[in-house]
Amino acid sequence: MKKLMMRLMVAGVAAGLPLGAAIADLQSETRADVTQLCENAIGDKGYKGYRFEDIEFNEARSGYSVTGQISRGSHRYEFNCVVSTRMSITDLVINPLSGDDDSRSVNSGAPAEAQVACAEEADKYWGLKDGASVPGKSKSTGSGMYEVQVAGGHHRGICTVTEDGDVKGIMNQ
């Protein structure tokens, strides 16, 4: 990172650009890289196809933080992604926003990641387009396992899933 900054400053001076412009280019590039890293990690957690909104980028001595919201249909979540100066994610938190259809069930049941995994698996199971199924009420069955009600079109079912989002099966209702 320091080498890149030095190269940009030298290139900026050689091109007759002010030092501030070279640093601004570096900050813009870093912001884009960190934001993309966080978006990829959020997608890997089961939130692919979500729209990113209200993104805020913060820089600190030890790294960077990207916060914002993601949404798809009526599903809305807030996130905070912390990235080290070595460009590795050190923390990623995704929580449902109040008023979201999932928020009532997440607080008393399955984690958001498990609910999203159930909805995505239900789409595949019933042959529906991506995003057509939604999770409903959920409850713990013990030992890190949950049952999540899912609905898509005229289909209804119960999804059995681990807290990490590993779907074990869907039973039609």
Over residues 69-89, the mean pLDDT reads 87
Predicted local confidence at residue 58, as pLDDT: 86
Spell out the residues 6+ positions from residue 109 whose beta carbon is closer than 8 angstroms to its own.
137, 138, 139, 140, 146, 148
Average pLDDT, the chain: 79
To which residue do tokens 């989002």 refer? 165
What domains are defined for the chain? 2-96 (3.10.450), 103-172 (3.10.450)
Q: What is the mean pLDDT of residues 35-46?
A: 90
pTM: 0.46
What would you report as the CA-atom Rg of the chain, rounded to the nearest whole angstrom?
21
| Residues 25, 84, 68, 161, CA torsion sign | positive
